[in-house]
Amino acid sequence: MMQINKKISKQFFGIIKQSKTIFITGHARPDGDTIGSSLALRYVLKKIGKQSVDIVMKERFMDCYNFLPDVDKISFSDKIGKKYDLAIILECSDISRIGFELNFNRFKKIINIDHHQNRRNVIGKDWLNIIYPRSASCAEIIFDMLENEKIEIDKNVALCLYVGIVTDTGKFQWSNTNSHVFNTSAKLLKYGLNTFYIYKKIYGSKSLESIRLLSAVLQTLEVKKVGKYNVSYIIATNKMFEDTNTTANDTEEFINFALSVRGVNIAIFFREEKCGNVKISFRSDSVDVRKIAHKLNGGGHKYASGATVSGNLVSVKEKVLRYIGRIK
C-alpha cells in the first residue's frame, strides 16, 4: 500500500535534479519527524550527487536526538543569508510554524512536504505541494517517494526515517498508527535497526532535571467538568524551568499524563514562555481539539493540536476553558 503516487515522486525528484543548492527547514521546536526526515533527505540528496544541502532550523531540539547520524550538520539560525535553487519545507501547516521569516524570493523553487491538515493559505501556487494528511509522518511520505523512484537507501537513512515514524505515532500507539506505518517500519527494520536501542535513546535517557520538572508540573494537575467535557490540565511556569534548570524541550510527553486520567476527554498543557506567550498543547482521544486550536490561531491534528497565545497564564487558561465551555 503506497500513499504517495508515482507522478508526485517523479516531480519531486525532477525538481531536485534541476537544483544545485538546496535548503531544508522544518517547524520551530523540531520534533523527531522533522529532524529525522530532514536528515534522511539530506543523506539521499548527498548520495545522488548534491554537494550543497543545508538544513537550517530555528531552534535547538532535545538532546535525545543527538545519536542520529550527521545531526551536527543541522545549523540553527533565524536568518537565511544565502540564495538557493530549492527550498524544501517540512511539516509546516502554517508558515509561521517555521519560526523565522522566509524570503521566498531567495529560492527558485519551493517544495512543501507535510502531513498536517492545511488550514492557512501556506501553499504557494507555483510550489510543489506534497500534502498528505492521511500519512502519520513526513518520514513515510519521503520513504514512499524514494521507493517509487527506486532510490536505494542505507542504514542511516532507514534509522532517520524510522525515528520520524516512531515519534510521530507515539511509539505506534496513537490513532494515526495504521498499516502503512507498520509496513514502512518493517521495510526500514530490514536495514538492521536496533529498535530497543532507538527507544532507549529517545525515551529512556532523560535527565534527572527533566524528571524533577515533571514532578513540579504534575503537582498542577487539575480535572474539571467544562461544558460537556471532562478536561484535565497541567501548567509549566517559567519559575519551574528556572528552579529545575530545564527548558521547554524537557516537557515532551508531559501532556500524555494529563490525558491518561480515566474519564478525561480533553487534556491541556499550558507552558509559559519567557517572551510572555503561553504555548498550549491539546490532546484528546475523542474530541476534535484542532477546532479549539483554530480558535486560538493554532492548528495541528484532530486529536493533537496546539497554539501560541499572548497573555499571562491565568487569563489564557480562563480564555481556553471558556471556549471549551461553549462548545455545543
Applying CB under 5 A, the residues found at the interface with Mn ion are: 33, 91, 168
Residue 143's identity, in one-letter code, is: F
Of 41-49, 170-178, 193-201, 306-314, the segment contacting ligand 5GP by CB under 6 A is 306-314
3-state SS assignment for residue 267: strand
Q: How many helices (H) and strands (E) does the chain have?
A: 11, 12
**Binding to ligand 5GP by residue 26, rule CB under 6 A?**
no
Q: 280: which residues sit within 8 A by CB, 6+ positions away? A: 268, 269, 270, 271, 293, 296, 298, 306, 307, 308, 309, 316, 320
**Binding to ligand 5GP by residue 32, rule CB under 6 A?**
no
CB of 93 to ligand 5GP, least distance (A): 6
Of 56-64, 81-89, 230-238, 299-307, the segment contacting ligand 5GP by CB under 6 A is 299-307
Nearer CB in complex with ligand 5GP: 19/299: 299
Find, among 168, 155, 102, 90, the residue nearest to 129 by Cα: 90
| Cell numbers standing for residue 252 | 515532551
Helices (H), 121-237: 138-148, 155-168, 179-189, 195-203, 208-218
Nearer CB in complex with ligand 5GP: 22/89: 89
**Binding to ligand 5GP by residue 94, rule CB under 6 A?**
yes
**Binding to ligand 5GP by residue 36, rule CB under 6 A?**
no
**Binding to ligand 5GP by residue 130, rule CB under 6 A?**
no
Q: 88: which residues sit within 8 A by CB, 6+ positions away? A: 22, 23, 24, 25, 41, 111, 113
- Which among ligand 5GP, Mn ion, none contacts residue 308 (Cβ within 5 to 8 A by kind)? ligand 5GP
**Window 267-296: residues binding ligand 5GP (CB under 6 A):** 281
How many chain residues are in contact with ligand 5GP, going by CB under 6 A? 14
CB of 258 to ligand 5GP, least distance (A): 12
Nearer CB in complex with ligand 5GP: 244/308: 308
CB of 21 to ligand 5GP, least distance (A): 29
Are 25 and 114 contacting, i.e. CB atoms less than 8 angstroms apart? Answer: no
Are 158 and 43 contacting, i.e. CB atoms less than 8 angstroms apart? Answer: no
Of 90-98, 139-147, 202-210, 217-225, the segment contacting ligand 5GP by CB under 6 A is 90-98
Q: Binding residue for ligand 5GP (CB under 6 A) from 45, 299, 316, 320?
A: 299
- Which among ligand 5GP, Mn ion, none contacts residue 250 (Cβ within 5 to 8 A by kind)? none
Distance CA 263, CA 265 (A): 6
Residue 304, beta-bridge partner list = 283
3-state SS assignment for residue 192: coil
- Which among Mn ion, ligand 5GP, none contacts residue 33 (Cβ within 5 to 8 A by kind)? Mn ion
**Binding to ligand 5GP by residue 164, rule CB under 6 A?**
no
Nearer CB in complex with Mn ion: 33/144: 33
Are 254 and 234 contacting, i.e. CB atoms less than 8 angstroms apart? Answer: yes
DSSP state of 96: G
Contact residues for ligand 5GP, defined by CB under 6 A? 93-94, 97, 116, 281, 298-301, 304-308
